[in-house]
Amino acid sequence: MRNDGRDTPRSLFCLHPSSFILHPSSFILLKSLRLALGFLTSVPIRADAMQPGDLGRAAMWFPLVGLALGAALSAAHFLLGQLFSPLLAAALTVALWAALTGGLHLDGLADCCDGLLASTTRERRLEIMRDPRLGAYGDIGLFIFLILKILAISSIHHLPPSGSSSFILHPLLLAPPLARWLILLVATQPSARPGGMGADFALGLKPAVFIVAAIIPLALIALGGARAIAAAVAAHALALGIIALARNQIGGVTGDVFGLTIEAGELATLLVFAAA
């Protein structure tokens, strides 16, 4: 057929096979997202061989994973609230929360209570935090945190209107992404153990990771108004306090300190929203 110049260019209809090949950077982003899901949740994710710095690069996805967790918890809490009393609905929500995260952060909380509060040497504190057995401080800390979480959630089952805005930010939607953003702040601190998780984390922490990770928390805080701002201030203040305690007691941070920071940030957010 003669081409008289009026034919539509073939490029509009024919795609080169290379168009369907993902750029290597896309695979890196997907790997980072899988790593973030596997690190922060109990979702069964196929684990790739982890290279130094991978965990730090995956941190850009931490608030997104937290947002997905918060959305699931908010929906579950709403449905449970239709069937059970506020207290029981809150307890079941916290149980689901622990199941979705594999109890990993609660384990870090308990280990930190045992180690950081012990009156002993730095080396002995680190040994205690590695011990899988739960001590008295860990038992008490875990009990207090879980009870406060349940009571805070049960007191916010009916959220008051926020001024004239029809949008009401549920604290369960804000708490997980905000708390997971705090990990990036903790990861900038020295590692308490040479070659530990904190050291590997820091290798991948670049300015771009902080910028991407901050998008979701900032957007939610902007939507949530004054109470969300107060929750963010409280969570950051608590994180700074944990950093100071960890540096004083064990000379830096560990994976358990990450877990404690997440649990403390979530609880601080819930308590601010539960306040009268």
Q: How confident is the model at residue 42 (pLDDT cuts 50, 70, 90)?
A: confident
The amino acid that residue 27 corresponds to is: F
| Calpha distance 59→64 (Å, rounded) | 10
Residue (of 40, 110, 109) closest to 260 by Cα position:
109
- Please enumerate in sequence order all residues whose Cβ is within 8 A of that of 242, keeping only pairs 6 or more positions apart, or say none: 186, 257, 260, 261, 264
Both tokens assigned to 264: 């403390």
Both tokens assigned to 256: 């358990």
Q: How confident is the model at residue 34 (pLDDT cuts 50, 70, 90)?
A: confident
Residue (of 115, 257, 271, 131) closest to 187 by Cα position:
257
Query: How do the domains of the chain map onto residue ranges?
Result: 54-155+166-274
Residue (of 179, 174, 190, 183) closest to 59 by Cα position:
183
Strand partners, 165: 162
pLDDT at 26: 56
pLDDT in tens, 178-228: 999 999 999 999 888 876 666 677 777 889 999 999 999 999 999 988 999
pLDDT at 49: 63
Collapse the DSSP code of 268 into the 3-class scheme (helix H, G, I; strand E, B; otherwise coil) and give the result. Answer: helix
pLDDT at 25: 55
Q: How confident is the model at residue 125 (pLDDT cuts 50, 70, 90)?
A: very high
| Calpha distance 106→52 (Å, rounded) | 26
Give the DSSP letter of residue 59.
Answer: G
Longest pairwise C-alpha distance within the chain: 90
Beta strands in the chain (DSSP E): none
Contacts 24+ apart (CB under 8 A), 155-159: 155/86, 155/274, 156/270, 156/273, 156/274, 157/77, 157/81, 157/86, 157/89, 157/90, 159/273
